[in-house]
Structure formats: C-alpha cells, structure tokens
A and B are shown apart, each in its own frame.
Chain A
Amino acid sequence: MNPLPEHPDFLWRNPEPKRSYDVVIVGAGGHGLATAHYLAKNHGITNVAVLEKGWLAGGNMARNTTIIRSNYLWDESAGIYEHALKLWEGLEDDLGYPILFSQRGVLNLAHSLQDVRDSVRRVEANVLNGVDAEWLTPDEVKKVCPIVNTSQEIRYPVLGATYQPRAGIAKHDYVAWGFARRADEAGIDLIQDCEVTGFTTDGDRVTGVRTTRGDIAAGKVALCAAGHTSVLTDMLGLRVPIQSHPLQALVSELLEPVHPTVVMSNAVHVYVSQAHKGELVMGAGIDSYNGYGQRGAFHIIERQMAAAVELFPVFARAHLLRTWGGIVDVTPDASPIVGHTPYENVYLNCGWGTGGFKATPGVGWCMAHTIAHDEPHPFNAPFTLERFVTGALVDEHGAAAVAH
C-alpha cells in the first residue's frame, strides 16, 4: 500500500465572489471541480466560479465508498465510465498531486444461475467495448480474495464472479483537493459557504444566480449538485426525472491489510474494500424512501452487516467505527443526465445515483466540452434529458453491476 502523502501547506485561495463570471458551476464536489479543471485545461476558460453551499467536497464526495470501475453492460455506459477510468489512470500526473489511485481490481459476485448468465454476458460485452473483464470460478475468486467465503453450503453461495483488474479505489478527499488546486491555479474562484437561493432569467436564458453572498451574473450555468439538483431545478421551474434517496456507507476500525481487492455483491447487496489506512469501507443499497437528511435507517445497515459477515466470516469480530449517508439522485433508468436543458445556457449534470465518484474525471471532461462548445461530447450525448420523452432509455438497472 502507498504511504500517505504529507498535507499540503496551502490548498486554494478563498476569494470573494466577483459580480460576474463567464461560467458559474453550482456544486464544488468532485464533478463540479473536475468540470472547472477541464474547462481551464482543455478549453482555456478560466473566468469561472464554482459555488458550494457548504464546504468544498463535503457532500457526496465525502460520503462515498470510492470504488472506480467501468464494467457496465451497455455501450453508452461503458463509453463514459471507461473514458473516466482512462483519465483516472493518468490523473496523479495531470493534477500533480497524489490521489492514492490503487488498481486492485473489482469482483462482482454471482449467487444464482441467472446471476452467472448475466455476469458472463456482461464480461463479453465489456471485452467487445475494450473494457478489461474476466469470468472467474469460485476457486479463482478465492485466489484473488482469499477471505471471501466460497463454501457452497451458505444461503447464497458464490458461483463465480466477474473481475475487472483495472478497477480500484482512490482517496476521495485528495481527488477533490487535487482538482481544486489545479482549478485555483488556473484562476478559477472556488467559493464556499455560498448557497444558490434563486436564479435571474430572461426568457429562455439564465442571466445569473442569487446566492447567500449576493447576486452573481453568469454567461453559462452548470448544475453539478448531485442529490440536491431538484432543489435547484425547482427554482428554475424545470422538472427533472430524479428522486433523491439516502445511501448509507460505513467503516470498520483500522485493521491490518486483509482485503486485497474490491468485492461487490448484488444479490446480498454489500460492497467492500479496504481503505489505505486500513478501515473496511462498506456500502449497501439505497434506503427506499425519498430523503435529503444525509442519514438513513438502521435496518439497512443491519442487513448489510449480515450479508457481509456471511460472505466474509473474518469480519465477524470487526467493530463498526462510524456510519454516514449521502444523498443520491436516482433516475428511472439508473443512468445520468448530462447536457442541455430547456434553458439555452444552463447545463445539467445529475442522476448518477450511487455511481458518481467513479465517473468524476470523465464527466468533468464531458461537461467542460458541453459548456465550451455548447454541444455534448460524444460520450455524454446519449445521456440527454430528452431520452425520457423519446423512449431511448439506456436502462442500466441490473446492467450496471450494482442494483440501486
């Protein structure tokens, strides 16, 4: 495992908001910061503000389980997530900052004959799309991750797994700080404690945002607020097909290295990796109801723990250290919405559900392109808001290697 880097002696400026910017990005999470970075780096656009109602990267970016993979079934999803994975592979050099990107691989377990068939199908689809993927037998699973219980005597025995060796984890805070530092160096203003409370409009154009720190005029506005997107779009009179749900995650106490890869299971629904420091990091499914409270119900954790202990008997004596919730924005087809809105200069990035972190550099790249050229990048072109009207659904429920 990598040693932890020293804390930098400075991170970014803390400027007063100017009265006007070419581009205002709402949300200084991973997606907003990556969008800012690529606006500067790829398009030379630096008269940009990134507005954050709380503290930088303190929303979902601070609350996710940091898994990075691109083993999606459908071509459109494989396209954007694999684009992101390739960027992850060069991101430390690009940002000049360690992000502890560790390509330790991901196993997606199969527990039924139908799981096996779906998984093999996904492996073949991945290979056709240039995404690394293999099908592993239970014995091969055991070689990759010796602590997985491959006994066939348990309720949901492991019948095999898909394996993406290039998948892995990164240190989420460092990813955000790396993007933030680069954007700041390029002259982009990162403005925290600045909540958007409304918009000023002129017909089909938005002319600016109203904030808790005053009105700010904007040439273009990009909404990158993840689970809170509806709060913004409601103020624009714009309806988006997303529902916000709590998604809980948790960590154990620090343990010596026991878990060499990432393991995910749909059927029993738990996913686990071991952080660089040593915590077991686990996630489960979303809580069923709509919620913005950044916490969830305890029975979800209880079920998740039961699944984890059956799959990993070695975890039985680990202590739970803390739990938390993020707010995920789930669409009817479990795929994101990235691109234009009925307002000609407002761009939308939402609907990533439980999978936003892995897409961070890829979606930043595509959003920056969409904003700069006023047309979508080929990778985000399929993910329009209009697809719900035209019927051209991407439909990643069940195809995404995790159920939402």
Chain B
Amino acid sequence: MQLIECPWCGPREEVEFHYGGQAHVAYPADPQALSDEEWAHYVFFRDNPKGLFTERWSHSVGCRRWFNAVRDTATYRFQASS
C-alpha cells in the first residue's frame, strides 16, 4: 500500500486519506461577471494530465487537514506535499 506524506502527521497509509481533485481552483473573484461558459469551466472542467498533477488530499482519518501534493498520474508516485 502506498504511503502518503501528511505534512503534519508524516507518512501514513493511503487508506487514511481522501482525494480532493485538482488543487488551486480558485472561486471566481467576480462571480457576477462570469458567462455561462466560464461558470461551466469553473464547476465542471479540471485538468487531467498524464504526468505531474497538483492536487488536494485530506488526511481524513488522521488530523483531518487538507494539503496540496504533486503526484505523477502515470506512476502514482508523490513528488511533494505541503
């Protein structure tokens, strides 16, 4: 089983974590100004690279805190978390 580095608790087994998808998807700064297409992209469209991906994880059965990680989606190997 893969170990994931929780920035606060250290390496823990994968089953302790919850996946949160792409990181750094910011809520629109001016929501009123968004077109339907821009809203659709904010709500439904995410990057889906084969390779390094910046994503969110939650240590859901540990400290319950969210953190960001960089992981390779081809090898599943974590490069960094913070």
Contact = CB atoms under 8 A, between A and B. Distances in A.
Given A241-B40, A292-B73, A293-B73, 8 more contacts: A230-B48, A230-B49, A230-B50, A231-B50, A239-B45, A241-B45, A289-B55, A289-B71
Nearest to B48: A230
B74 A297 contact: no
A290 B36 contact: no
B48 A243 contact: yes
Interface string A38-65: 0000000000000000000000000000
A348 to B, nearest CB: 14
B19 A288 contact: yes
Given A241-B46, A289-B71, A291-B76, A297 B40 contact: no
A234 B47 CA distance: 9
A228 B37 contact: no
Chain B interface main SS type: mixed
Interface string A279-291: 0000000001111
Contact of A244 (B19, B37, B48): B48
Given A290-B55, A293-B74, A388-B44, A299 B49 contact: no
B1 interface: yes
Contacts of B40: 241, 388-389
A186 to B, nearest CB: 33
A242 interface: yes
B72 to A, nearest CB: 9
Contacts of B50: 228, 230-231, 244, 292
A390 B36 contact: yes
A229 B16 CA distance: 31
Interface in B6-33: 14-15, 18-19, 21
A298 interface: yes
B55 A243 contact: no
Contacts of A157: none
B1 A389 contact: no
Interface residues of A, number: 24
A290 B73 contact: yes
A243 B46 CA distance: 7
B2 interface: yes
A292 B36 CA distance: 31
B1 A299 contact: yes
B19 A289 contact: yes
A334 to B, nearest CB: 12
Nearest to B41: A239
* Across the A-B interface, the 6 shortest Cβ-Cβ residue pairs: A230-B48, A288-B19, A389-B40, A241-B44, A292-B50, A332-B44
Contact of B2 (A231, A241, A297): A297
Contacts of B19: 288-289
Contact of B14 (A241, A242, A297, A389): A297
Nearest to B40: A389
Nearest to A296: B76
A298 B76 contact: no
Nearest to B2: A297
Contacts of B73: 244, 289-293
Contacts of B45: 239-241, 388
Given A239-B45, A241-B46, A290 B74 contact: no
A234 B21 contact: no
Contacts of B36: 389-391
B74 A292 contact: yes
A349 B9 CA distance: 43
A293 B21 contact: no
A288 B15 CA distance: 11
28 contacts: A230-B48, A230-B50, A231-B50, A239-B41, A240-B48, A241-B44, A243-B21, A244-B48, A244-B50, A289-B71, A289-B73, A290-B21, A290-B48, A290-B73, A291-B73, A291-B76, A292-B73, A292-B74, A293-B73, A293-B74, A297-B2, A298-B1, A299-B1, A299-B15, A332-B44, A389-B36, A389-B37, A390-B36
